[in-house]
Structure 1
Amino acid sequence: MSIQSTIEAATSTLPPSLARIAAVVRENPSTVITMTINELAHECSTSVASVVRFCRAIGFSGYAPLRMALATELGKEAAQFSARGAYGSEISDEDTLREAVSKLAALELLAIEETVEQLDFTVLEAAIDDIDASERILLYGIGASQFVAEDLMHKLLRVGRNAYVLTDPHEAIAATVLHAGPTVAIGFSHSGTTPETVRFLRTAAGNGARTIAVTSAKESPLARQADHALFTEVRESSFRAGAMVSRIAQLTLVDCLFTGVAKKRFTETTDALKRTREATRALQA
């Protein structure tokens, strides 16, 4: 897991003084390299002790180890993306359209690579087993996470699985208390703190469903609530009204889940995909 992704994931769970440091470092990671610990504390309107606590919160013993590790990480990324002119996590007013799109593509490529690299395949396989054994799959997310839930629903429906996206929070809770055979509830939330999504998983678990969380925050309420937590690795751009990079990372995990479920019943799946493809083509004729 990269340092920048760790900071992104931890931001929503940090206390205010540490969250200010995270915000500054997210905006410009090279700040850590160019500033002393005193300068960074002043920049963030906080204390040196808070900077040390921030370092420990993201897994480092102090500021010096963080500077060294982040310098190494930024150097590797510069080498990886400088050839295409895409290096730099933030889109600025001075960027041309081509430069802005290249930066976004670099962030999305990193999100896919880092999400797959850190994926716990034991957890993934357990989540796939629960989905395969279920008779009903309930999916819930708010905002951009709802679009991701819909993507998984469409994929599962195409292979004959009973999947439902619940778009209303009351409807979602009501569905979890209905006993309709073995059920899996999957909640999507980038921050892992969306109250409605956490409540959805908690209620589902209380009524006997197996639960899966798709989030970026390992210590989040959503992750703690789930039987299986799958984590994205994301560095979101400041242009994030559409949750661009986090959505791509979540879709990567959706494809991993679907691939695993499809492989469980390979012949049945390929037959279902063939028949549904032929049926939809007939509608276009």
Structure 2
Amino acid sequence: MNSTYRRSSPFPAQLARRLSHLSLVLISLLGVGAFLLPFITPARGEVGAAHTSDAPLVFFVLVALSLLLIFADLETHRMNSKMIAVLGVLTAVNAALRLIPGPLGFSAVFVLPILAGYAYGAEFGFLLGSLSLFVSAVITGGLGPWLPFQMFAAGWTGLSAGWLPDLRRFGRVESVVLAGFGFGWGILFGVIMNLWFWPYIAAGTEAGITWEPGLGVWRGVQRYATFYVLTSLWWDLGRAGGNAMLLFLFSTPLLRLLRRFGQRFRFTWQHT
């Protein structure tokens, strides 16, 4: 049950709200910049050395901005301590789901960020997606320069789910839309993630599908599209199909559960 809670805060609610929005914008700009940096300053080195110099800085700035986002949401009461606990539990569950092997590129790790982002909002969805990838990497020892890029891509999956309209009044249409959304992100996640290493593939090793300094934007897009279709599309279709199937079958009961938690643990802030 929602209840009204009033308290005076040393941190103005309006400023905290702006800080929350600013943090999310800065996080996304950081991610876009990190992915595009090798195209602006031509990449050097081999694929195995991709982003080894800048990834640690990107990771620490991402963590700092994520903490700032949590602080701002606490101050504006988009979250409270109980919702932080829910975030922690869902992160642990989602990290464990990533450890379950699936056929082709299928992984259940995207289902909860999509549903939580849809139910709780863009900020919650981003945090769940990015933190899940971090925790699972710590568990499996999968720490490397690719990690912050995985965190961005998974976070954007949950963030964009928060932009979907509330479709619960349309019944089964909600599950169909979420299944289509999950299918699209199954492909888009792979499209985004390949960019973290593609500029580092030596020109000439794969004629016509590698990045070369001086390529125009359209020519670069054509080469990348060819590279993606030849090397990754079949794998990502497995992930996309798995997302769609799970979301179509289980989105309704899972959303019911998430909304019940949200109604119980959230409260409405009224600034006086």
Query: Is the structural similarity TM-score above 0.5?
Result: no
Structure richer in strand, relative to its length: 1
Structure richer in helix, relative to its length: 2
Q: Which has the higher contact order (CA 8 A, sep 6+)?
A: 2
**TM-score normalised by L of structure 1:** 0.27
